[in-house]
Amino acid sequence: MQVDLREPWWIQDVRIPTRLVLAPMAGVSVQAFRRQGRRYGAGLVCSEMVSCAGLEHRNERTLGYLRVARDEHPLAIQIFGSEPAVMGEAARMVAAAGADIVDINFGCPVRKVTKTGAGATLLDDSGRACAIVEAVAKAADVPVSVKMRRGLENGSRTCLEIGARLVDAGAATLTLHPRSARQMYTGEAEHSLTAELVELVDVPVIASGDITSGARAQAVLATTGAAAVMVGRGAQGNPWALREIVDGDSGEPSREEVAAELIVFIRETVRELGERRASGFLKKFYGWYLGRGRFPRPFKQELVQLESTEEVVTRLLVAAPRAVELVERLESELPDPADEILLDSMPISIYGGG
């Protein structure tokens, strides 16, 4: 039986217009990425994870400021940390900044995070994990979600042992990526665990991991009973994958469409991060957009070597001159920057990637 991914669902009182969630990804989920995801069918978009310690200390290493635009809602802002009180204060701040949902990261496997006692490490400290959820739920006046992995080690079933306790502590929804922290992104996501979690809790569960096509999304939703699917790496430089998952539209974008989306993404990222930061941040996106046979492989290397983002835009328009009209249309649909909510001194991430 086909699931209508255009059917809305709810996280407490927050209406999510489609059953596709765009994942929070460090060094990727800047505002331009989130807004693009919304245009292509994501019902809920997420910021990359924000360090609660950075919020507490107004870290001078802050490389950007969180921006919330009117076309991003509903938006989840993800926070990470290991101290309940500090996480509670961080939740209060990001809710004030305009988040519709506060998401807690109990899934990041990267040592830079886990060595601080945050991320996936908290799955092995259920008492502290539940205390964090309770503190966040009390501090924020918006729903709380938790994103987690199956556990630290391969074969772990920790997610099932802790899931109901997190809900009792105040989580309004859970996202499960059923790989272990040790696996990182290798192997396969074991969605039989997702199905078990759905049966154990009485809140919506979002299925994350290996959602790479509409067929895969349908299969996961049908076999797990999850409320929605989350897409991450598959959407990097490829918003058309979101459209295919939601609407079944598997048509490949034209060269002009690819160039136009990349140009708008470049300009919006420069506006958000500034030219110096954006220039380095964007280089990985060139390969993501231009790959998959869309442009000759040497073209990506040529763009990476250019010194400024405007040079990159110029070169893209030379390669796809008919993209000009598409760029103008896309930019005309962007909201006025004056509509953004800015919360000064809020670092986007500890990574320096935006």
Which residues have a catalytic role annotated?
108
- Measuring CA to CA, how many Å separate 125 from each of 48, 106, 130, 299? 23, 11, 9, 48
Q: What is the dihedral of CA 245, 248, 250, 255, to 10 degrees?
A: -70
- Please name which of 313, 293, 291, 314 lies closest in space to residue 301, comparing C-alpha atoms: 291
| Cβ(164)–Cβ(199) below 8 Å | no
Phi (first) and psi of residue 22, to 5 degrees: -90, 120
| Cβ(255)–Cβ(320) below 8 Å | yes
- DSSP code, position 72: G
For the stretch 121-132, what's the b/e string if a residue is b when 16 or more beta carbons lie within 10 angstroms of its beta carbon? bbbeeeeebbbb
- DSSP symbols for 113-159: HHTTT-GGGGGG-HHHHHHHHHHHHHH-SS-EEEEEEEESSTT--HH
Q: What is the dihedral of CA 317, 321, 326, 332, to 10 degrees?
A: 60
Half-sphere CA count of 140, side-chain side, radius 13 A: 35
Alpha helices (H) in the chain, listed in sequence order: 31-39, 52-57, 84-96, 111-114, 126-139, 158-169, 192-200, 214-224, 240-247, 255-273, 275-281, 283-290, 297-305, 309-319, 323-332
Whose tokens are 């405007």? That residue is 310
